Amino acid sequence: MLVVDLGGQYSQLIARRVREARVYSELVPHETPVEALLARRPRAIVLSGGPASVYADGAPRVDTRVFQLGVPTLGICYGMQLMAHELGGAVERTGASEFGRTDLQVEGGALFAGLQLEQTVWMSHRDSVTAAPAGARVTAGSPSTPIAAFEDEGRGFYGVQFHPEVVHTASGQEMLKNFLYNVAGAAPTWTPAAVIEEQVESVRAQVGSARVLCALSGGVDSAVAALLVHKALRDQLTCVFVDHGLLRKDEARQVVETFGGHFHVPLVHVEAQQRFLERLRGVGDPEEKRRRVGEEFIRVFEEEARRLGDVRYLVQGTLYSDVIESGGLGGAQDGVAATIKSHHNVGGLPDEMDFQLVEPLRLLFKDEVRRVGEELGLPERMVWRQPFPGPGLAIRIIGEVTEERLKTLREADAILQDEIRRAGLYRDLWQSFAVLPAIRSVGVQGDERTYAYPIVIRAVTSDDAMTADWARLPYDLLETISSRIINEIPAVNRVCLDLSSKPPATIEWE
């Protein structure tokens, strides 16, 4: 199914909901010519919402031939209004805007099959459809919007003024399923197993018998990408794991045991801890730390790549959200994108390292990556790992990174993680970690005065890291964490809790 993006804030969400119904979907810009849409052979099309009015100058439109394709089409919010406008109905600013939860009275129709006649739906609109397109019948209305849904079964046009994709529309997912399964005849076949099969085929077709390199970071994306490629190519793949010594306690060992030990993936484990410490000596500025870690990473990786000889392909864990951000699937359909994104760990490889990219996750959203990881047998700990920054603990130690301070932070962080997992809260938190500030304070232990570091507990909830709230951790959990950290780590005599949301604070301290 193709979701034509008309600028709405929920366009990506529509694509994700459709995939949750196990039907493959892609997001495409509204300017996409009809030939390009047809080339994707869609079973169904959704026209998304959008902030414009159909009468506004420059309001987003679709190629009108979209309505002659004979492909079942569902217009949502602005998409519905655009349909009405293009197909001979009417759209007006009636003065009856609706925002938020709204009662819907259903009169019938394929979208609402099997559902109650009274529904709660989520609305967000100023304009309304005041006349359905010729041949369409009105299938639902709300108190201020008599035409809240219409259907023209014969021509395959469906419109809803509300947003079935948001959770506040209680039966929204059922409505989408009705459209997908019953109207468009799409089967729920987009499963993790099917994704794996398809990607294995596609990686084999792309790479043939060439050799492939993958940088493992310990994160879920590179882990799943590596396992997928390994499934396709077995020993043609070599993974390089650069241990920069800035990971959490036991994470390096887990990577080596899981990949080298359990999955028998050819693995080069580079123990570069001292090199990184050397590069970080005397550096206090956060951006300079980031730069040095990134640069050293590339140097080490490059050295290993040269050592391995003739390797032309590089695996990268690019996700579908990155693809959408950089302009969609577009022409680079075969998975060979031109650029390596700079935020990625191997970003900024020198030009003369002329790799072609293998991107087996470029069709997947993050939650799908995790499901594929589970299906491939990746340990739960790796599949559900919270996001972790590339420069690792280096940006959670304020000021200079030394071996001693790394050890202190790593131990404190391990206690924090341990207790959060034990309390069953790990997956509810976007991130939870310890921070080591560059100050010391006075304490008393036994009869002795101490002068030692504090540890800051940072735990946040978030959907996408753009905004975040500090997590309300239970007091008894905080007490356990605090007393364990102070009792077990001699260099620490105080534990503090960070109560800042983002904005104005950031999630990380550096």
Q: How far is the CB of 155 from ligand XMP (least distance, A)?
A: 46
- In whole angstroms, give the CA distance from residue 199 to residue 359: 9
Residue number with CB closer to ligand XMP (168 or 290): 290
Using a 10 angstrom Cβ sphere, with 0-12 exposed, 13-18 middle and 19 or more buried, the burial of residue 487 is exposed
Q: Which residues contact 265 (CB under 8 A, 6 or more apart)?
A: 226, 227, 230, 237, 239, 259
Contacts with ligand XMP, residue ranges (CB under 6 A): 290, 343, 387, 389-391, 431, 465, 502, 506-508
Range list of H helices, 260-397: 273-280, 286-308, 320-325, 366-375, 380-383
Q: Which of 20, 98, 165, 296 is catalytic?
A: 165
Contact, 397 vs 391, CB < 8 A?
A: no
Query: What's the one-letter identity of residue 202?
Result: S
Minimum distance, C-beta of residue 302 to ligand XMP, in the bound complex (Å): 19
- What is the nearest approach in angstroms of ligand XMP to the Cβ of residue 428? 16
Of 30, 85, 163, 244, the catalytic one is: 163
Nearer to ligand XMP, 42 or 390 (CB): 390
The least distance separating ligand XMP from the CB of residue 262, rounded to whole angstroms, comes to 26
Identify the CA nearest to 267 among candidates 277, 258, 259, 279: 259
Residue closer to ligand XMP, measured from CB, 160 or 435: 435
Is residue 336 a contact partner of residue 342, using CB atoms and an 8 Å limit? Answer: no
Q: Whose Cβ is closer to ligand XMP: residue 179's or residue 301's?
A: 301
Q: What's the CA gap between 34 and 45, in Å, rounded?
A: 12
Cα dihedral sign, 408-411-417-422: negative
Confirm whether 214 is a catalytic residue: no
Q: How far apart are CA 241 and CA 187, in angstroms?
A: 40
Active-site residue, selected from the candidate residues 77, 85, 125, 411: 77
Lookup result for tokens 């290993």 = 304
Q: Provide, rounded to whole angstroms, the least separation between the CB of residue 390 and ligand XMP.
A: 4
Give the residue with the Cβ less far from ligand XMP, 290 or 366: 290
Q: Which residues participate in catalysis according to the annotation?
A: 77, 163, 165
